Amino acid sequence: MADRRPLISGNWKMHHDHFEAIRTLQKLAYRLTNEDAELVDASVHPPFIDIRPLQIVIETDDLPIALGAQNCHWEDKGAFTGEVAPPMLAKMHVSYIICGHSERRELFGETDDDVNRKVKAILKHEMTPILCCGETLEEREAGEAEAKVERQVRAGLDKVKGDQVAGMVIAYEPIWAIGTGRTASSDDAQAMCGTVRRVVADAHGADAAAGVRVQYGGSVKPTNIKELMTMPDIDGALVGGASLDPDDFARIIQFRLQP
């Protein structure tokens, strides 16, 4: 972590109906202090159906937690049954939208091209994309991890201006570490997050690389976050399973206080 502001994001995936989402958010907020809010940005990314109720709770109680989404379409409106458009999310004051998560790529066939369209649509509506990248175990064992991540980052950011990239977030999530309890070692995570930043520097310039925040994701827990956050190119975390538990997620946001 350099002097970029840390961003810890909770991807709730397909968990929590709107009652559970509200309870989880309130418990999380209860555990966070003013100092946490001064030092760290935190976001939650519930299923679409929970976004409006959480917006009301966040704004009514002035909670220091940003609202996020897990996906969106790239068009503003139209005949796209089942999809949600970026302006609809902007209207609910969504700040961050995850795009190109490995589950969307692998299970729902999202391509690099789709992900690039989403990145540009999110920026157009003045929200922040969290662009995901990461390799499978087979790709890592074949020595292809860097090339895969480089391709995903270049394609995801194609034709995005450098000053916009500077304000973005890129999440490096090795697929073999997601939900497996198997975290990348902090050195491996640093090496790949460093690769992400080098690719950004090469494609979009030094200022973009200095500004972009790079998150690590994959079995992040209260017990491993502190060490990950000491790494120079890791600016935050995209947390799945552990973000469903408000105690664990608060401790991850409070990484500086962990033993």
What positions carry a catalytic annotation?
Answer: 101, 173
241: contact with ligand 13P by CB under 6 A = yes
134: contact with ligand 13P by CB under 6 A = no
Residue 26: CB minimum distance to ligand 13P, A: 22
Q: Which of 6, 8, 11, 115 binds ligand 13P (CB under 6 A)?
A: 11
Footprint of ligand 13P on 215-234 (CB under 6 A): 217-220
Q: Between 179 and 232, whose beta carbon lies closer to ligand 13P?
A: 179
Q: Which of 239, 250, 252, 253 binds ligand 13P (CB under 6 A)?
A: 239
Residue 34: CB minimum distance to ligand 13P, A: 27
**Is 248 within 8 Å of 230 (Cβ atoms)?**
no
Footprint of ligand 13P on 52-81 (CB under 6 A): none
Q: Between 58 and 242, whose beta carbon lies closer to ligand 13P?
A: 242
Residue 146: CB minimum distance to ligand 13P, A: 20
Distance, C-alpha 156 to centroid of its chain: 14
Taking CB under 6 A as the rule, which mask of x and - marks residues 177-216 in contact with ligand 13P?
Answer: -xx-------------------------------------
Q: Between 74 and 249, whose beta carbon lies closer to ligand 13P?
A: 249
What lies within 8 Å, CB to CB, of 187 at 6+ separation is none
Q: Both tokens of residue 37?
A: 């809010």
**Bridge partners (DSSP) listed for residue 169:** 130, 213
Q: Which of 50, 139, 173, 233 binds ligand 13P (CB under 6 A)?
A: 173
In the numeric block, the tokens 């087979």 are attached to 138
> Closest CB to ligand 13P belongs to which residue?
240
Q: Both tokens of residue 235?
A: 């600016």
Angle at 133 between CA 165 and CA 116, to 5 degrees: 50
Residue 66: CB minimum distance to ligand 13P, A: 16
Residue of 216, 154, 147 lying closest to 187 (CA atoms): 216
Q: Between 101 and 197, whose beta carbon lies closer to ligand 13P?
A: 101
240: contact with ligand 13P by CB under 6 A = yes
Question: Can you give the binding site for ligand 13P, defined by CB under 6 A?
Answer: 11, 101, 173, 178-179, 217-220, 238-242
